[in-house]
Structures are given as structure tokens and as C-alpha cells.
Amino acid sequence: MDIAILNIKGEDTGRKAALNDEVFKIEPNDHAIYLDVKQYLANQRQGTHKSKERAEISGSTRKVKKQKGTGTARMGSVKSPLLRGGGTVFGPKPRDYSFKLNKKVKVLARKSALAYKIQDENIVVLEDFKLDTPKTKVYLEMIKSLALNGKKTLMVIPEVDKNIILSGRNIPKVKIALATDINTYDVLNADKLILCEGSIVKIENILN
């Protein structure tokens, strides 16, 4: 499949990028996408949540009231979960939410996400470019030229370029990632996927 290559001014360069059908034109697998996104979000969780149980509460161990003769239910400790300020029953404890996912499933999920972007015509191919200095204004002008104002964009660059990363990192709804680091969640979460020309080969090599 061929797709037009644009420059940073949004103009057609007259060249086309050939996208590998085995990566960008497969039949999307929704379950693979679900599993990969679930793992990605699970891995983002710190898992440091904690509430105190009955044994961990600071307080007197004196019996609250006598056992019999009050006409109400018996009551032992002020640490009881039934009382305000008492312990929590079966409260959250620190835990690791991450889980294993087979590499082939992750690859299938990323291919499926890219296939959905192609189907919806939400992929823009940009010729490789360099910035002399970090300039947010230049990046904003590029987004405006590509008619992507106000849209969530994920730009995929072939290699680390500090000037590009620093130019776009403070702009709302803009994310920049390396071709080797793209994941299913970020691809699907973006309204438009901007692929720098050099990143296409790297993506295809990783996913093929």
C-alpha cells in the first residue's frame, strides 16, 4: 500500500511511502488489542495502595463496655471494623498488577492497531526532518500546517532527536515516541498517527 509523503509545511512532496501489507493491512484482532492494552495499563499502576487492618490500628485494648446487661450487642475493642476509626476489613494491600503476555500476541496487537489507523485514514507520513534548536513554535506551526490542531497526535520518529522531543513535549495532546517504543495503547489513543519516513522501516522490521 502506498501513501503520500508530506513535508512539515503540509505539502505533498510528490513521493510515496510503501507500507508493508503484512504489518499495516492485516485483519485486526480485537482480543489481542484488549490483552495488550490491559497489560500496558496494569503495568502503569504503582500498586502502593494500603489500608490498616484491625491489628495495625493504634488504640486502647480496653474492653469498650461490659459483656452483658447493656441490652445491646457485645463490643470488645475500639479497633473493631464496625466502629468509626477502626480497622478496614479486607482492605487493599500493596501488590504487583503486571502480568505476562506472549510476544506474538503483543506484535499482533500492534499490527491490529496500525491496521485500524490505516482503515480510518488516520495515518500521516512525514518526510524526515531536523530542528536546529528546540522550538515549540515551529512544532505548533507544523501541526497547524497538517490540519491537526486540537487533535491528539502521536509522532513516531526513527531515532532520538532531542530538539524534536523538547519542541513537542509541552504541547497538550501531543506525544512523541521512538519507532522502537510504540505500543498499542498510544497508537489507538491518538486521533492521528504521524509517521516520520525513516520510522516506517524500523516499525516493519520489529513487527515482521
Write out the three cell numbers for 14.
510528490
Residue 14 is predicted with a pLDDT of: 87
Residue 185 is predicted with a pLDDT of: 96
Are 21 and 2 in contact by the 8 Å Cβ rule? The answer is no
In the chain, domain spans: 2-46+99-207, 51-91
86 φ, ψ (degrees, to nearest 5): -80, 180
Residue % of the chain over a pLDDT of 90: 75
- What's the CA gap between 193 and 175, in Å, rounded? 10
Residue 208 is predicted with a pLDDT of: 85
Confidence of residue 98 (pLDDT cuts 50, 70, 90): very high
The single-letter DSSP state of residue 105 is H
pTM of the model: 0.83
Residue 191 is predicted with a pLDDT of: 94
User: What average pLDDT score do residues 81-103 get?
Assistant: 93
Alpha helices, H only, the chain = 21-24, 30-44, 103-119, 136-145, 162-168, 184-189, 197-207
Residue pLDDT, tens place only, 125-184: 999 998 889 999 999 999 999 999 889 999 999 999 899 999 999 999 999 999 999 999
Residue 61 is predicted with a pLDDT of: 84
Indicate the residue type of 29: N
Our separate counts of H helices and E strands in the chain read: 7, 6
Mean pLDDT over the full length of the chain = 92
Confidence of residue 12 (pLDDT cuts 50, 70, 90): confident
- What's the CA gap between 195 and 203, in Å, rounded? 10
Residue 180 is predicted with a pLDDT of: 92
User: What average pLDDT score do residues 181-203 get?
Assistant: 93
The single-letter DSSP state of residue 17 is E
Domain covering 2-46+99-207, topology: Ribosomal Protein L4; Chain: A; (3.40.1370)
Strand partners, 5: 125
- What's the CA gap between 206 and 201, in Å, rounded? 9
- What's the CA gap between 190 and 100, in Å, rounded? 25
Residue 60 is predicted with a pLDDT of: 85
